[in-house]
């Protein structure tokens, strides 16, 4: 093949070297617009997985890299004048300049044609004259821009400012310096990369950056290679204590905005994107160099395995895209955490450190305990002390007081519509469904959305509380839960609004009924989506009647004995649709600005609160974002939560979406937790209001991690409880917890121990045992240079 590579960074050079090794007959040419010694940045960090792939593909190059690595396992977090050390992480870093020199030498030795200080020909000329064109030309890729109609890039400019610097202070480990200044929070990400230097990345929110006066050079056009020396001098003064008399070094160092790059496609014809041209991930979770070299490995392998070029490029994208998207989700969580770091600096120091370490959700409590058991013990002790407890038990099994209601643990069975009622009456199915979940160990079990009227149902199978017969059937279920378990049971009340009169879920989710349908109402005559019926705009009389229906249902719920009431203001149902500007286009006092859109949901809340027994809590479920243009965002969610808290809500249950069929949710593990996190820290914590996290929380490790980091007070889990009704009890057994927070029903007590599994009597070799033991003791490995540092140019 005749291969053109645009961009002489690590990804492009490594791909060139791999292809020449796979077949020396390949004609490989690299164009790089910078000189061979021009390298921007200081150190690059690699994971064990990446290094393993490099070693497998090119042992000679991997060996050369290994001689230059700085290795360590510790992370030091400096906050409020204290240093907290966490071990067991495992890092390997080297100078970016050294890495490039090694790759350049490797390419020359293999016969790759390298053109430095030479712009590449344009995209069309390259594609016409080569079998394959690699666009490895970075974030601002010219080739990607030339084919933007095909690649369809999305560039997300973020809110923090950052600057890459170096220092001759050789750190012993990864460093996070969190400094509270008169202008706000600033942070440094630092790590060693050689015997003579460390990377020193300064980062802060744009608001802090402006208050500190760093915007003085905002409109200065620096020449190529020049640095913002004024800013570098100020940074050296601000972080003088951290630098401890050592120098800062600049290298094309100026303030940057991190841009997350995503592309709908990565290849077009014989042109393919690689590295930052295809994708970026925030530096706080790793290295763009690492991702680019992993791309090179995968692309070279796919070209070698598939003789057809299009099949090879499709295989490359299929292999790498899931990995990259997973990395980008973690990076997004991490960068947003650092954008909002000021929200967390007032946490107790150990909790702050745990929060920082678990910010991307890739490191969890269990993972951290495996890496550094001593630090995990510190986290447990700190959390228990903050809850006024003496002993240490898993966070999920610590009791919680929700208003005046005592919950034995912090697990909630989330409301899940079952569509199995007859004329709104819950039957034996609901008794078994909710009764089994209560006996399965959860602290609180929630009903499905119970409708306040026949016209307020989602489907003909929805349950209700508009008749006394329905109340009496619910009372039977509540009584069973109270008699057979120590769980509490909550009632979720709602009205379907414009999402009503639809088929049962398994007959067609959100599809309208053909026979037996009923009129639906909404804030405005706007359908839920294409194919949905148009609701009638609710009149003043409608609003009064619906409010009265909520009050009557609440009174029946209290008579049935429910311990708690949740008002459903989420998922596009009636109260939610009043809150959303997508559904609410009214021009009266119930439409327009958020203050007006809140008016009817708050009127209903006040009426329900007045009808509900004062000693029993009332909570509210909201959709924190509509996941759609022109809809509510997380910023609106903060104000919505603030309003309900001001009206007396005991907790905010933070869900999202389902307000329009046109939504584009960013699904992923615990993907809604950041919304709960923000509401808890910005609104709820100051008032003592509980916050409930919900959404793809699938493991007890996730629950413990969320609680220990202070992202929520309680966790609501739905589908996992359908998979395993005894999930909470099984989580206790997995964690070797026994106590009142996970009490097994007496008839089930024989199953309270985890069943035995298959075993082996094989004896492991003694030397292997010794080596494992030695390795396990090396939780804390710090970088200690073995030679005198070389002079810094």
Token pair for 125: 């000329």
| Dist. CA 275–CA 292, nearest whole Å | 4
Torsion sign, CA atoms 681, 684, 686, 690: negative
Residue located via tokens 């592309």: 263
Q: Is 589 helix (H, G, I), strand (E, B) or coil?
A: coil
**Residue 30 near residue 107, CB atoms below 8 Å:** yes
Strands 248-249 and 267-268: unpaired
Paired strand residues for 198: 167, 192
Residue located via tokens 């292999």: 319
| Dist. CA 459–CA 465, nearest whole Å | 15
C-alpha 14: how far from chain center: 31
Q: Is 691 helix (H, G, I), strand (E, B) or coil?
A: strand
- Residues marked active site are found at 573
DSSP-H helix ranges across 268-341:
288-305, 309-339
| Dist. CA 540–CA 558, nearest whole Å | 27
* CA neighbor of 675 nearest in space, from 627, 728, 604, 719: 627
Paired strand residues for 638: none
Q: CB within 8 A of 548, min separation 6: which ones?
A: none
Q: CB within 8 A of 561, min separation 6: which ones?
A: 475, 478, 479, 482
Q: Is 786 helix (H, G, I), strand (E, B) or coil?
A: coil
* CA neighbor of 567 nearest in space, from 521, 525, 597, 612: 612
Strands 400-402 and 405-407: antiparallel
| Dist. CA 697–CA 634, nearest whole Å | 19
| Dist. CA 97–CA 166, nearest whole Å | 13
Token pair for 721: 């409880």
The counts of H helices and E strands in the chain are: 29, 29
User: In what helix (H) or strand (E) does residue 5 lie, and over which residues does it extend?
Assistant: strand 2-6
* CA neighbor of 323 nearest in space, from 390, 256, 278: 278
C-alpha 252: how far from chain center: 32
Q: Is 692 helix (H, G, I), strand (E, B) or coil?
A: strand
Q: In what order do the strands lie in the sheet with 113-116?
A: 113-116, 27-32, 2-6, 132-135, 271-273, 267-268
Question: How many alpha carbons lie under 13 Å from residue 483 in its C-beta half-sphere?
Answer: 7
Indicate the burial class of 342 (C-beta count within 10 angstroms; 0-12, 13-18, 19 or more): middle
SS3 content of the chain, % helix, strand, coil (to 5): 40, 20, 40
Cβ count within 10 A of residue 194: 21
What is the length of the chain?
793
Q: Which residues of 39-62 are buried (b: 16+ CB within 10 A; e: fewer)?
A: bebbbbbbeeebbebbeebbeebe
DSSP letter, residue 362: S
Cβ count within 10 A of residue 551: 17
CA angle (521 as vertex; 518, 523 as ends), nearest 5: 170
Indicate the burial class of 560 (C-beta count within 10 angstroms; 0-12, 13-18, 19 or more): buried
């Amino acid at each position: 093949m005749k291969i053109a590579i645009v961009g002489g960074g690590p990804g492009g050079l490594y791909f060139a070297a791999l292809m020449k090794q796979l077949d020396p007959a390949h004609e490989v040419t690299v164009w790089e617009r910078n000189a061979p010694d021009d390298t921007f940045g200081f150190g690059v960090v690699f994971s064990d997985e990446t290094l393993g792939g490099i070693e497998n593909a090119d042992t000679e190059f991997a060996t050369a890299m290994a001689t230059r690595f700085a290795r360590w396992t510790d992370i030091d977090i400096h906050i409020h004048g204290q240093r907290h050390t966490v071990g067991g992480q495992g890092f390997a870093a080297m100078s970016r300049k050294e890495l490039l020199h090694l790759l350049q030498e490797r390419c020359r030795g293999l016969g790759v044609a390298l053109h430095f200080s030479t712009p590449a020909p344009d995209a069309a000329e390259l594609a016409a004259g080569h079998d394959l064109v690699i666009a490895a030309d970075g974030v601002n890729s010219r080739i990607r821009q030339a084919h933007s109609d095909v690649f369809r890039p999305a560039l997300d400019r973020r809110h923090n400012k950052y600057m890459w610097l170096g220092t001759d202070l050789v750190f012993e480990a990864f460093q996070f310096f969190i400094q509270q200044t008169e202008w706000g929070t600033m942070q440094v990400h630092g790590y060693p990369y050689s015997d003579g230097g460390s990377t020193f990345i300064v980062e802060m929110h744009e608001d802090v950056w402006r208050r500190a006066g760093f915007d003085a050079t905002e409109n200065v056009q620096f020449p190529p290679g020049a640095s913002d020396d004024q800013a570098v001098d100020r940074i050296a003064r601000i972080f003088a204590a951290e630098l401890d008399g050592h120098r800062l070094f600049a290298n094309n160092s100026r303030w940057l905005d991190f841009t997350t790059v995503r592309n709908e496609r990565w290849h077009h014809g014989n042109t393919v994107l690689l590295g930052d041209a295809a994708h970026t991930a925030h530096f706080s979770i790793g290295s763009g160099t690492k991702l680019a070299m992993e791309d090179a490995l995968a692309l070279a392998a796919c070209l070698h395995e598939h003789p057809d070029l299009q099949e090879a490029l499709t295989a490359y994208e299929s292999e790498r895209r899931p990995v990259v998207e997973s990395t980008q989700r973690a990076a997004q969580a991490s960068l947003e955490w650092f954008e909002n770091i000021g929200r967390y600096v007032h946490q107790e120091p150990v909790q702050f450190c745990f929060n920082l370490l678990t910010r991307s959700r890739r490191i969890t409590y269990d993972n951290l305990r495996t890496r550094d058991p001593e630090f995990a013990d510190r986290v447990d002790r700190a959390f228990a002390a903050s809850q006024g407890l003496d002993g240490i038990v898993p966070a999920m099994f610590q009791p919680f007081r929700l208003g005046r209601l005592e919950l034995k643990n912090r697990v909630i069975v989330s409301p899940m519509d079952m569509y199995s009622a007859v004329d709104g009456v819950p039957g034996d199915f609901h008794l078994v469904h909710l009764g089994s979940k209560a006996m399965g160990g959860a602290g609180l079990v929630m009903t499905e959305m119970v409708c306040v009227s026949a016209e307020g149902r989602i489907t003909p199978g929805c349950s209700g509380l508009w008749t006394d017969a329905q109340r009496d059937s619910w009372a039977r279920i509540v009584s069973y839960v109270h008699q057979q378990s120590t769980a509490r049971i909550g009632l979720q009340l709602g009205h379907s609004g414009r999402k009503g009169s639809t088929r049962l879920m398994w007959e067609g989710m959100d599809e309208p009924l053909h026979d037996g349908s009923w009129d639906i109402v909404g804030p405005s005559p706007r359908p839920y989506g294409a194919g949905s019926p148009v609701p009638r705009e609710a009149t003043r009389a409608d609003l009064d009647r619906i409010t009265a229906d909520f009050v009557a249902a609440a009174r029946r719920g209290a008579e049935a004995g429910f311990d708690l009431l949740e008002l459903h203001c989420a998922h596009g149902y009636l109260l939610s649709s009043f809150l959303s500007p997508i559904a609410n286009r009214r021009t009266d006092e119930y439409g327009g600005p958020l203050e007006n859109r809140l008016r009817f949901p708050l009127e209903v809340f006040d009426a329900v609160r007045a009808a509900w027994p004062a000693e029993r809590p009332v909570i509210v479920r909201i959709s924190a974002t509509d996941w759609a243009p022109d809809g509510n965002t997380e910023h609106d969610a903060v104000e919505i939560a603030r309003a309900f808290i001001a009206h007396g809500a005991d907790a905010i249950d933070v869900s999202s979406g389902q307000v329009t069929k046109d939504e584009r949710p960013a699904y992923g593990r615990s993907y809604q937790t950041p919304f709960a996190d923000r509401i808890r820290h910005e609104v709820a914590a100051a008032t003592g209001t509980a916050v409930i996290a919900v959404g793809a929380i699938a493991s007890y490790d996730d629950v413990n991690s969320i609680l220990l980091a202070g992202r929520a007070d309680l966790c609501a889990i739905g589908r996992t409880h359908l998979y395993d009704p005894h999930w909470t009890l099984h989580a206790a057994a997995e964690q070797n917890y026994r106590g009142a927070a996970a009490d097994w029903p007496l008839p089930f007590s024989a199953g309270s121990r985890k069943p035995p599994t298959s075993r082996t009597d094989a004896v492991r070799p003694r030397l292997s045992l010794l080596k494992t033991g030695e390795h396990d003791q090396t939780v804390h490995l710090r970088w200690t240079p073995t030679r005198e540092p070389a002079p810094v140019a």
